[in-house]
Amino acid sequence: MSKKIFITGAAGFIGSHLVEKLFKDGYNLKLLVPYNVDNSWGWIDSLDEKIKNNIEIISGDVCDHDLIRKITKDVNIIFHLAALISIPYSYVSPRSYISTNIIGTLNLLEVLKNSSIELFVNTSTSEVYGSAQYSPIDEEHPLNAQSPYAATKISADQLCLSYYRSFELPISVIRPFNTFGPRQSLRAAIPTIITQALKKEKTIKMGNTSTKRDFSYVSDTVSGFTSCIGNKKCIGEVINLGTGVAFTIAETIEYISELTNIEIKVDVDKTRLRPQKSEVNHLLSKNDKAKEILNWQPKFANKEGFKQGLKETIEWFKISENSKLYKSNLYNL
């Protein structure tokens, strides 16, 4: 009998891709998606009917301790991806980030204390490092919260590590750098550029284009997660998932222009700029630990790999059924 895997944040960008991969690999899946009156399952709605008909989907809230305790009784592995992720919105609603990102994580950790769950993978973010104090960034780099979002993710990571040390629980913290690909929201730079470019706007609206990021294609990130299954070496570890190559937003715009054959002019929208001390200027991963412990190797690495990932993302956005789900003319926090 295959192991039962519980995934929080399954309706989201990375979560939905993880669902596809784990289903393909033959695992028994139970998903938590946000409750809503429309009974929408987010990106799970877009998956193949064979997947949807053979997984268990529960609508609820990771902040609901009683629900979490009830629905995790029969699972073997937990991938925790549920989180509020928009940095600008964390400036105006920090309490909601504390509730979801910290209390939600705590609820799962409390369940873990009295269970036979064999692996709990917590999803971190490279934002916890802040602007690089040295580069490339390894897992020993100081943590520096430059936004309320980053502060809550640091707190969640440290909670997980404290429960590993205090209760000897099977916890791993996986820290993806800037994941991109199909289904990503407009709160991220790459889909913001692509959706505006494909509408052939005279200019696209962006924030700071000089910042540098280590962009990881979503299938590489997912393979990093799945490499934790059955791997006891990852227990108690924090592991970066990044390509080890970084590009500026300006360079990314140039590559998208080349791949779409569309001239892209940029209008800097001041509403999209972070406060000066909150801007993370440079993120470049050192991924030696992932290679050693997870035997993980990004397939979309270096400039050519990055451009291939961009190409696949652009092709996905060119499909009208996908692009119509995005409001590229609006900027939401």
Helix (H, G, I), strand (E, B) or coil at 32: strand
The per-type count for the chain, helices as H runs and strands as E runs, is 13, 13
Contact 117, 77 (CB under 8 A): yes
HSE-CB at 112 with a 13 A cutoff on CA atoms is 29
Task: Return all residues near 173 (Cβ < 8 A) that are at least 6 apart.
Answer: 121, 122, 124, 157, 160, 161, 237, 238, 239
Contact 75, 5 (CB under 8 A): yes
Helix (H, G, I), strand (E, B) or coil at 240: strand
Contact 134, 128 (CB under 8 A): no
- Residues with a known catalytic role: 149
- In 3D space, the residue among 291, 292, 301 whose CA is nearest the CA of residue 243 turns out to be 301
- Ordered DSSP codes for 2-44: PPEEEEETTTSHHHHHHHHHHHHTT-EEEEEEE--TT---GGG
Distance CA(157)–CA(120), nearest Å, equals 12
- In 3D space, the residue among 112, 43, 128, 22 whose CA is nearest the CA of residue 73 turns out to be 112
CB atoms within 10 A of CB 159: 18
Distance CA(56)–CA(119), nearest Å, equals 19
* Phi and psi torsions of 188, nearest 5°: -110, 155
